[in-house]
Structure 1
Amino acid sequence: MEPQKDDQLGPWLALFCVPKLSLRRSLALLKNFKTPAAVLSANSSKLKECGVSPEARKAIHEYQNQCAANIIAQRVSQSLNWCQQAEDHHIIHFEHDDYPVALKEIAQPPLLLFVMGAPRLLNRPQLAMVGSRSPSFDGKQLAKKFAAEIGHLGLMVTSGLAIGVDGESHRGALDAGFPTVTVMATGIDQIYPKQHVALAQQIRQRGALVTEFPLGQGPRAHSFPQRNRIISGLSLGVLVVEAAIKSGSLITARYALEQNREVFAIPGSIHNPLARGCHRLIRDGAKLVECGQDISDELSLQLTLPLENVADPVVEQCYPEGAVYQQVLEKMGFDPVPMDALVERTELMVTELSAVLTQLTLQGKVEHTERGFVRVFTPEANC
């Protein structure tokens, strides 16, 4: 199989593989040096001034001198070998066209993502679904029901593959015929939990498995909350299906708020301890939802402009949702346009643009293809 053709991947992957170099430090170095290649070619004294650890400096020095036993080169080689093992193995770095635009907005975006499946799905409008690892019978049914409804409304379900609400949400989407995305808290080659190996394979075939963690890394306690920021970061909002007061899913909800995403919660019985986390979220301002349409309506309402803001009443007849919809269609044209290009053209936040594209897709005015979003020709397109 031909190797992945990406001239920029090497430096990004090498920076990712530097031992004892945290993501926070890597991002700070990139802010200072501008490119991964510049970081990797910096002298040891300059790196020391930037707070780089002795072990990391030693590894970079050995990498610069092409030492045979250099750990960075070994890790890079291992990752590239994995990438070449199957056509659906991908490594997506920060500047790659398939890197999710939404993730670039969060405080600490991953340097790169390992993906099994279809990376283009990562730029589709998504809704995160999270909740208890030990849900009630009703909780399991609600997760499946909402996942199917959300798919029919044009949103893709994103979750974390855990036992409980995560798994039921993925199954609900797949059973209804929709793709789904799993964000893993392990290396891409370490499916966890083992009970979900078969489910992960289905997701890989019809959606995507994603992780920021290196090959071979198993489950670690700190990795799960770290993973949760990506689940919320990829999404327009987070739906908490069923959660106890100390549920880890509330961490995802907190990340969503920090990332300016919407938080939704399903209420339950006051006698159900697994509803208390949702009730607290609702008291704190989360949107109470009873069906998938509630979520779609809320995301659309954010973008609806007051009628007086629309200058031309003829435009309003063609696009009753407001001028922002006309703007997106005009910037799109009838050739496929990638998500990041649309963000640049429209100057909209990715969350706003994703919601607009969802509504236009439902109305049959826009289609999503492998090359990007394309305007559908209709008689009213000439309005």
Structure 2
Amino acid sequence: MHVTLPLDDPDYPSLLRRTPDAPRALHVDGAIDALWHPSIAIVGSRNATPGGFDNARQFARAFARAGWCVVSGMALGIDTAAHLGALDEGGATVAVLGTAIDVAYPRRNAGLMRRIAASGAVVSEYPPGTKAHPGRFPARNRIVAALSLGTLVVEAAHESGALITARLAGDAGREVFALPGSIHNPMSRGCHRLLRDGATLVESPGEIIAALAPIALAYADDLRGRLHAPNCAVAALQHASPSMDANTQRLWEALGHDPTPMEALVLRTGLTAAELVSMLLVMELEGRVVSEHGRYTRRDTHKAS
């Protein structure tokens, strides 16, 4: 589905709208809801090493399994690995283009672009027909950073677009993470520079998920407004409510009193991780659910009272 979202459209993603240089309009091919999921950006070199490519794909898989949307720029190398990792798990992924949404760049990623639009969204600030131009790719990096609660840099040269994205993320008050690498790998120098400048060193996806969980919970306030979730403290603590829609009821019944990982909830409910994370964030904000280390359990209402 191709749509254009003006800046004042209620479907325009709130995180992006808050930035001072938000696009006046956003062109979208795919699911608009993907732009509202809590997201992590994964960026890095087009000339990724095999190890860097594998790391980006593995991190993206873990994020998708935990219900996060993966945002990247659909370039070769690390960007491609990030999108593929999310798709491997049936998760949501968003590609921010430096061309129009009807122009695949690079051309070899045309098939990937169609897959992303089918399970997430392809977005651009440029109108249909806009071709590739070197100046447009650094500009799109601000959208990658703004749509995400945090940015992970996997591999990057000392001067690269990935470092621009990381800087923009930091300027916007977002978390920046970097993977350390070999001192002999030129593609590690950008990450090491970020680490010297204060980025968080990470070695596993769980570290990033844990760091961003409180921020995602705060963002759930916007999400709740979009989903028109009830805001009643009494109803929130009920074991079930007639006002629950069918999917929320199914999720509630799938939750136990023992911590349950996202993978188990996907199997029990038949819903995707992307669908579940939206409902879980709202339920956590309202006091029905407790989250710890990527596992979810019903809140003990007796202790709450």
- 1:128-167 equivalences in 2 (<5 Å): 128-167=41-80
- The Cα offsets for residues 260-288 of structure 1, whole Å up to 9 and x where unpaired, read as 11110000011111101000100100000
Is the 1:337–1:373 contact (alpha carbons within 8 Å) kept by the matching residues of 2? no
Is it true that 1:261 corresponds to 2:149 in the alignment?
Answer: no
| TM-score, length-scaled by structure 1 | 0.60
Q: Letter of the aligned partner of 2:73 in structure 1? A: G
Equivalence for 1:368:
278
CA distance in 2: counterparts of 1:373 and 1:195, whole angstroms? 39
Q: Which of 158, 181, 184 in structure 2 is aligned with 1:245? A: 158
**1:187 Cα offset (Å):** 1.1
CA distance in 2: counterparts of 1:156 and 1:144, whole angstroms? 13
- 1:46-57 equivalences in 2 (<5 Å): none
CA distance in 2: counterparts of 1:287 and 1:373, whole angstroms? 28
Q: Which of 188, 194, 203 in structure 1 is aligned with 2:101? A: 188
CA distance in 1: counterparts of 2:225 and 2:116, whole angstroms? 26
Q: Letter of the aligned partner of 1:228 in structure 2? A: N
SS in 2 for 1:174: helix
Larger radius of gyration: 1
CA distance in 1: counterparts of 2:57 and 2:198, whole angstroms? 25
Q: Which of 176, 181, 201 in structure 2 is aligned with 1:288? A: 201
Query: Which aligned runs of 4 or more in structure 1 are off by greater than 2 angstroms?
Result: 300-304, 361-364, 366-369, 372-383
Equivalence for 1:24:
none
Q: Which of 66, 74, 81 in structure 2 is aligned with 1:168? A: 81
**1:224 Cα offset (Å):** 0.5
| TM-score, length-scaled by structure 2 | 0.75
CA distance in 1: counterparts of 2:17 and 2:210, whole angstroms? 26
CA distance in 1: counterparts of 2:299 and 2:100, whole angstroms? 49
CA distance in 2: counterparts of 1:182 and 1:302, whole angstroms? 22
CA distance in 2: counterparts of 1:228 and 1:154, whole angstroms? 23
SS in 1 for 2:159: coil
| Aligned-pair identity (%) | 41
SS in 1 for 2:187: helix
Is it true that 1:206 corresponds to 2:119 in the alignment?
Answer: yes
Q: Which of 226, 247, 272 in structure 2 is aligned with 1:338? A: 226
Is the 1:153–1:293 contact (alpha carbons within 8 Å) kept by the matching residues of 2? no
Equivalence for 1:14:
none
Q: Letter of the aligned partner of 1:338 in structure 2? A: R
Q: Which of 73, 97, 103 in structure 1 is aligned with 2:16? A: 103
Is the 1:128–1:239 contact (alpha carbons within 8 Å) kept by the matching residues of 2? yes
- The Cα offsets for residues 179-204 of structure 1, whole Å up to 9 and x where unpaired, read as 10000111111111100000001001
Higher relative contact order (CA 8 A, sep 6+): 2
CA distance in 1: counterparts of 2:185 and 2:299, whole angstroms? 53
Q: Which of 203, 220, 225 in structure 1 is aligned with 2:133? A: 220
Is it true that 1:231 corresponds to 2:141 in the alignment?
Answer: no
SS in 2 for 1:368: helix
Equivalence for 1:122:
35
Aligned alpha-carbon RMSD (Å): 3.1
- The Cα offsets for residues 126-163 of structure 1, whole Å up to 9 and x where unpaired, read as 01100000100101100110001111222210000001
**1:121 Cα offset (Å):** 1.1
Aligned length: 252
Is the 2:149–2:215 contact (alpha carbons within 8 Å) kept by the matching residues of 1? no
